[in-house]
Structure 1
Amino acid sequence: MTDQVHGTPRRGLVAATLGFFVGFAGVVLYGPVAAEFQGPMGLSGLLLGLLVAAPQLTGSLLRIPFGAWVEDVGAKRPFLILLGLSIVGMGGLSVLLLTAYPDGLTMRHFPVVFVFGALSGCGIATFSVGIAQTSYWYPTDQQGTVLAVYAGLGNSSPAIFTLLVPLALASFGLTGAYLGWFAFLVLGTIGYAILAVDAPYFQFTKRGIGRSRAKRRASERGQELFPNGNAAASLRDAASVSRTWVLVALFFTSFGGFLALTVWLPSYWTAVHGVGIQRAGVLTALAFTLLAAAIRIPGGIASDRIGGERTAIASFVAVAVAASVLVLTREFVPALAATVLLGAGMGVANAAVFQLVPTYVPEAVGGASGLVGGLGAFGGFVVPPVLGVFVDLHGTAGYATGFVVFLVLALASVGLSSALYRTQPAPELAVTEPSSADD
């Protein structure tokens, strides 16, 4: 029947979260076992930073076109293409390790390892696709909470893999660990394909129903946010809103910083505090990555209740304080406490920023999600090589002094969040009544 809607908002959220969880694990493709590549390949601090950040290159930039593409076709097809590219990258890396690791892996393999890492990172770009999918399933007044649930649970996969990869390395070797990861990626993609359902509007348009009638029928079934139906127009509309670019800058600090530290902290703990690779993975996962992911849920609830702007200000102040401590201290306990505060601040800030996306850009959620999620997450690719330069210049001490980068970013973000708070307008209505005429 043309009026039947398959699935429910909860199923849409569960499917998006599963797909994002599977793809987002690619963030830590190289970070937890960086030493396994750095030694045989003879990498400098700069090249090590580039390698561990390789998945973030595609994982950030592809969010822009794929997030906007949701406006045309819904989320399921973009999701599956991104996960399929990740499978290609992980499969290629597994074959390379089977044939070249450990004795045959040298600096000449760096471009190939980088490219396979970038392909494996395509699944990270599912973030903006899932943001749009979730936003279109749920009403406006629940956006902060459901987006925080989606992002918080999905963001937990890097923490889990930061814990598991060193353990798998010890038990099965580097090649065995990546083969297991490849199997997980394939099975997770199949699971998403079975479970995923697009929001009602896209179900109606795929049946040949015109956009105006599809909006009206979807609105009758509770959908409040709608795409404008054109990916290029969605990007253009989002880019024309000045606050979109403020949100990009804030997300560069919070989520780009989160990605950068997820892959960099294991090296920090090993170099500065002399802990082993497995313990470094545990510290990174529990004190930072998992915490930052889990706290997005209460962060989203707080953003709904007191406003995303005020929540962002408080969280970026926490990031600035934590970064200051990490720059100054070489003691383990203060560094661990500062890392916990840093993870909490970034996690809450991530939730606050995306609570504001449908508020400020309701007419182009897909395009705005792509721009904010893509350009903001690009910090995950930019920052690790910068941190590597600190190491090249200052040796081991550079792992600590490099945190000045996050101090500067956090202070700038406090200023931008404060400007949003001072100038926040009365939000426009997200949806107008759809016309009764068909397109």
Structure 2
Amino acid sequence: MSTSTARKGEWLEAWDPENEATWDSKLAWKTLWITTFCLTLAFIAWFLPSAIIPKLASVGYTFTKGQLYWMAAMPGLAAGLLRILWMVMPPILGTRKLVTITTLLLIPSTLGWGVRVMEPTAPYWELMVLAFLAGIGGGAFSGLMPSTSYFFPKSKQGTALGLQAGIGNLGVSIVQLLTPYLIAIGALAVFGGSQQMKFPGKPDQTVWYQNAAFVWIPLMIGGAVLAWTMLKSVPIKANIKQQFDIFKNQDTWWMTILYIMTFGTFSGLSAQFGLLMINLYGAGNAEIVSGSGAAAKVLVAGYAVPEAVKFVFLGPLIGAVARFAFSPLTDRMGGAIWTLISGVGLIGSIIYTIPALTPDTSSAAALDAGFNQFLYGMLAIFLFAGIGNASTFKQMPMIFEKRQAGGVIGWTAAIAAFGPFLFGVGINFLGVVPFYWIGVVWAVGCVVLTWWRYARKGAPKPS
């Protein structure tokens, strides 16, 4: 009898992916693609606020920069908290129920953002609530990833989890890339009227901002239907108390530190990239003054980068592609060596970016050069964070036994999901430059940890 024989229409009779003779690879890959589709929608819901918040002022909202940083940080706070809940759900609910329910829970926040951008009348607290609810999409990661890992042998988990996480991470760049185009298509505005988007020194532009949210809701409903009708659940049972035995293993804590470096950086910068770019180099920033005294020449900031936010999608895109592109290499070479490369790359790229965090406004040429350094440095940070996201997810199934590996994946993802919140708070209270130097110090510590514990010859846990 095949190990994939169903019981009660959902739960598999038994499941041993390490047994090639009985492993149902077709079911495993079908599960991967459906859960990956739903995870991509979850990331879209999670980062929808990051695509909308930088534009709130142009549709009539009058929040301060600090309020906007906090609003962009809120989905990260929610995701970190909710991932702790979602991480214990896979053995309890099973893959089918977990993916279905999670996908349906993406709809309320997405619908709410669509409604509240049609008129600039929502109070700040209400948008903060919607930002928090968007974190459900981030929380989903700690449930969907471990439940998918149950379906694959260790030899293929680096590739499978890298594909799922990488394509899921693409949801960040998808929503940030498509939002400017979706809001410009009046034919999509089945519900609600148009809005006038205001730009300094430019004519008002007619937009339909609700499209940025409403277009995803039919896909979320479709994803939930796919999950309910086509997924099965693996009989890996453990109550909450049993799952918490991962905290007795020191490698749970070491891998948490490493994943903060990689996914914490990816998610934190993805949420704040647009605001950083606008505040440092976008239109409406301080004036550029060249010359002095009566000969002073004043230009409007943003001259060098009139629509800076059009580049925002590139960072998450590079990070997501790196995650699934490097996953096969982690299966071939091991994860630890690539985590080491990720850490060294992050140190170099952050140091390279730091000078550009203080724009040189002495001339248009200096501003333009600073922007290019900022953009290329940020893209390099996303690249190395994406490589590390792939490598750490290869390491965990190699270090821990199957049930614990799922729990550790969920736990580390939960803590790293606080990235958007920590980045927002850090930038607000410490300033951009000091916060980036903290990132350098953290990455240096992670490089030492990776080499000593996992990558060097004779390491205690080679992975």
Structure 2 counterpart SS, 1:201: coil
Structure 1 range deviating more: 21-30 or 83-92: 83-92
* Residues 263-272 or 145-154, more deviating: 263-272
Cα gap change, 1:332 to 1:93, in 2 (>3 Å)? closer
Partners of 1:349 and 1:424 lie apart in 2 by 19
C-alpha separation in 2, matches of 1:195 and 1:80: 5
Q: From the superposition, tell whether residues 24 and 342 of structure 1 become closer, same or farther in structure 2 (CA, over 3 Å).
A: same
Q: Distance in 2 between matches of 1:87 and 1:376?
A: 24
Task: Return closer, same or farther for 1:96/1:44 CA change in 2, 3 Å cut-off.
Answer: closer
Normalising by structure 2, we get a TM-score of 0.76
Which of 210, 213, 223 aligns to 1:181? It is: 213
| Alignment pair present for 1:308 and 2:322 | no
Residue 75 (1) aligns with residue 95 (2): yes
Aligned pairs, how many? Answer: 389
1:388 partner letter:
N
| Structure with the higher helix share, 1 or 2 | 1
Residue 315 of structure 1, CA deviation: 0.6
Residue of structure 2 equivalent to 1:230: 239
Aligned residue among 67, 74, 77 for 1:47? 67
Alignment of 1:202-213 (within 5 A): 202=235
Q: Please list the CA deviations of residues 339-381 of structure 1 after superposition, one character each: whole Å capped at 9, or x if unmatched.
A: 2211110000111111122222223233212211101211222
The amino acid that maps onto 1:404 is: W
Of residues 14, 31, 52, the one that matches 2:50 is: 31
Alpha carbons of 1:245 and 1:278: their partners in 2 closer, same or farther (altered >3 Å)? farther
Percent of aligned pairs with the same residue?
Answer: 23
For 1:159 and 1:359, locate their aligned partners in 2 and report how far apart those are by CA, in whole Å: 30
| Contact kept in structure 1, 2:281 and 2:371, CA below 8 Å | yes
**Corresponding residue for 2:444?**
411
| Larger Cα-atom Rg | 2
AA matched with 1:267: L
Report the Cα offset of residue 195 of structure 1.
4.3
Pair 1:246 & 2:246 matched:
no
Q: Which runs of 5+ in 1 are unaligned?
A: 203-226, 392-397, 429-439
Q: CA deviation at 1:9?
A: 1.0
Q: Which residue of 2 aligns with 1:65?
A: 85
Task: Tell me the CA shift for residue 141 of structure 1.
Answer: 0.6
Q: Give the residue type in structure 2 aligned to 1:142.
A: K
Q: Contact between 1:26 and 1:123, CA under 8 Å: does it hold in 2?
A: yes
Q: Match of 2:399?
A: 360
Q: Label 1:372 to 1:273 Cα distance change in 2 as closer, same or farther (>3 A).
A: same
Letter in 2 for 1:182: F
Structure 2: runs of 5+ lacking an equivalent: 11-25, 187-194, 198-206, 284-301, 360-369
Contact 1:47 1:385 in 2 (8 A): no
1:376 paired with 2:416, answer yes
- 1:143 matches 2:163: no
Per-residue deviation, 1:171? 4.7
Matched, 1:94 2:122: no
- The 3 A distance-change label for structure 1 pair 314 and 261 is same
CA distance in 2: counterparts of 1:405 and 1:426, whole angstroms: 27
Equivalent pair of 1:136/1:199 in contact (CA under 8 Å): no
Asked if the contact 2:145/2:410 (under 8 Å) is kept, the reply is no
Which amino acid letter does the alignment assign opposite residue 75 of structure 2? P
Greater relative contact order (Cα 8 A, min sep 6): structure 1 or 2? Answer: 1
Q: 2:321: which partner in 1?
A: 294
More strand by share: 2
Contact 2:162 2:324 in 1 (8 A): yes
Conserved? CA contact 1:260–1:383, under 8 Å: yes
AA aligned opposite 2:124 = F
The 1:260/1:200 distance shift into structure 2, 3 A limit, reads closer
1:262-311 Cα distance to aligned partner (Å, 9 max, x none):
1211122223233679943432212x110100011232222222221111
- Cα 1:47–1:408 change in 2 (3 A) is farther
